[in-house]
Structure 1
Amino acid sequence: MGSIKRSDESILVCVYYGLNGERLIRRGHKLATLLDCPLYILTVDQNPLDAFDAEKSGYIEKWTELCDELGVEKFIIRDNEKRPIQKVIAETARNYNITQIIVGQSAQSRWEEITKGSFLNVLLKEVPFVDFHIVSVKRQSVDNDNGNYEKGVRAYIIRDDEHYKITFTCPKLEHLEGIFFKEIGTDFDNGIFKFPHEHKMNEITVKEGYVINPYAIQPLFGKQIS
């Protein structure tokens, strides 16, 4: 506050869902403090604000409180947003003269797309004047449950007659993509499969490579299910 002039930098932190949002906001605040520059937080959702589920609304509330506590310049909520994420980020970056953008790389978040070439290339064309910080964030996972599971790996559930089984190579047929947490000390594919659906993480139990409750995921396999 004793500075005569703030730097020309301006930071935007993109948060989407989950506990990692707080970590990213604090990371952005630390950088903004070092650079003595304004900090903006952005979250984007296809649904209108009043249609957010309890979990998402809870995060919005926590992030709002944290932004107030840290003296964030503005918490930008872009709800009911149907455009591609990169368009929204680019527009926000231009509107607020952003020079640095921080996003989290997480398997359970659609911000993960930013690490894939096509998304990043589009974004760089949209906002060529911005520096990007892609922060690796810990997954909210069953890793924390007494250490009974190995580190999560990308996996897919496919239909096998009336059953559903797990595979670790991307199949050409209809599938469900997620993260598999294998139980420690088992030679079989026993564990928990987590996947995003309707803006939250869901989990199903896998035993010896097969989903033990196929009815839980039947509706997610579309019209192929009789």
Structure 2
Amino acid sequence: MKHAKRIDESILVCVYYGLNGERLIRRGHKLATLLDCPLYILTVDAKPVDTFDAEKSGYIDRWTELAKELEVEDFIIRDNEKRPIQKVIADIAREKNITQIIVGQSAQSRWEEITKGSFVNVLLKEIPFVDFHIVAVNRPVVDDEGNPFEKGVRAYVIRDSETYKIAFTCPNKASIEGIFFKEIGTDFDNGVFKFSFESKMYEVKIKEGLVTNPHLIHSIYGVTSV
């Protein structure tokens, strides 16, 4: 059961699909914990939820789990939304009495507009009582062991005899599509390959172009499916 929290402060984290969503949510949770105030999460999409692909659904599932884990006040999904993003954010801010908004600065996401003065000015005119926290999310990705990776690129895992290898052009045979993150400072294809299956996210390690833990691929797809 949630304990009573301060009502003079309320935080909204705006996330879009990508690997930095969880980091933004945890950043918001740290701030909400310090202020002892409610935390809300918002994601906006022009498409209906029931048309989301596996990758998008995977992010939604993970954020839903994280919201429960962190006892977030509400995870708000605005799907099939045709209005400008700033209008949606402003409406939610008024509805939830938001005083602070956290967004990610990334050239690869829909939220990149947030970094432009005109966008912020529109929001400030509509919700002048809100403080904005623009968090840089274009740092190298870091795994659980602290290893940094380059920006992710689309890639494919294909079966090669008794193992699996990484490919960067769409193959003519069965493959698994995902994102490859190469380790910084290596000339080889070493890193991690992330992909989604049945609305869940998975990752396998890659060393010199080969999957080092093929048992995960086997367990998910079966030995003969790739």
What TM-score, normalized to structure 1? 0.61
Q: Which residue of 1 aligns with 2:35?
A: 35
Q: Which residue of 1 aligns with 2:86?
A: 86
Q: Deviations over 1:165-202 (max 9, x none)?
A: xxxxxxxxxxxxxxxx9x989xxxxxxxxxxxxxxxxx
Amino acid corresponding to residue 65 of structure 1 in structure 2: E
Indicate whether 1:25 and 2:25 are aligned. Answer: yes
Mapping of 1:124-203 within 5 angstroms?
A: 124-138=124-138
| Aligned length, in residue pairs | 154
1:17 match: secondary structure? coil
Distance 2:71 2:43 in 1: 17
Q: Which residue of 1 aligns with 2:178?
A: none
With over 3 angstroms needed to count, the CA separation of the structure-2 counterparts of 1:25 and 1:4, relative to structure 1, is: closer
With over 3 angstroms needed to count, the CA separation of the structure-2 counterparts of 1:62 and 1:140, relative to structure 1, is: farther
**TM superposition outliers: structure 1 runs of 4+ over 6 Å:** 1-4, 146-149
Do the aligned residues in 2 keep the contact of 1:108 with 1:139 (CA within 8 Å)?
Answer: no
With over 3 angstroms needed to count, the CA separation of the structure-2 counterparts of 1:148 and 1:46, relative to structure 1, is: closer
Q: What 5-or-longer segments of structure 2 have no aligned partner?
A: 153-181, 187-226
1:113 match: secondary structure? helix
Amino acid corresponding to residue 59 of structure 1 in structure 2: Y
What TM-score, normalized to structure 2? 0.61
With over 3 angstroms needed to count, the CA separation of the structure-2 counterparts of 1:56 and 1:140, relative to structure 1, is: farther
Do the aligned residues in 2 keep the contact of 1:90 with 1:123 (CA within 8 Å)?
Answer: yes
Q: Which residue of 2 aligns with 1:122?
A: 122
With over 3 angstroms needed to count, the CA separation of the structure-2 counterparts of 1:4 and 1:57, relative to structure 1, is: closer
Residue 148 (structure 1) shift = 9.0
Do the aligned residues in 2 keep the contact of 1:106 with 1:139 (CA within 8 Å)?
Answer: no
Q: What 5-or-longer segments of structure 1 have no aligned partner?
A: 153-180, 186-226
Distance 1:14 1:65 in 2: 16
Mapping of 1:211-222 within 5 angstroms?
A: none
Distance 1:24 1:148 in 2: 19
Distance 1:66 1:2 in 2: 16
Which of the pair has the greater relative contact order for Cα pairs under 8 Å at 6+ separation? 2
Indicate whether 1:63 and 2:71 are aligned. Answer: no
Distance 1:90 1:123 in 2: 7
Distance 2:110 2:119 in 1: 11
**Could you tell me the percent identity over the aligned residues?**
78
Residue 2 (structure 1) shift = 11
Q: Deviations over 1:19-68 (max 9, x none)?
A: 10000000000000000000000000000000111100000000000000
Residue 128 (structure 1) shift = 0.6
Distance 2:35 2:132 in 1: 15
1:135 match: secondary structure? strand
Do the aligned residues in 2 keep the contact of 1:48 with 1:79 (CA within 8 Å)?
Answer: yes
Q: Which residue of 2 aligns with 1:104?
A: 104
Distance 1:45 1:83 in 2: 10
Q: Deviations over 1:132-164 (max 9, x none)?
A: 0000013677x99x9896x89xxxxxxxxxxxx
CA-based RMSD: 3.0
Amino acid corresponding to residue 37 of structure 1 in structure 2: C
Distance 1:147 1:39 in 2: 30
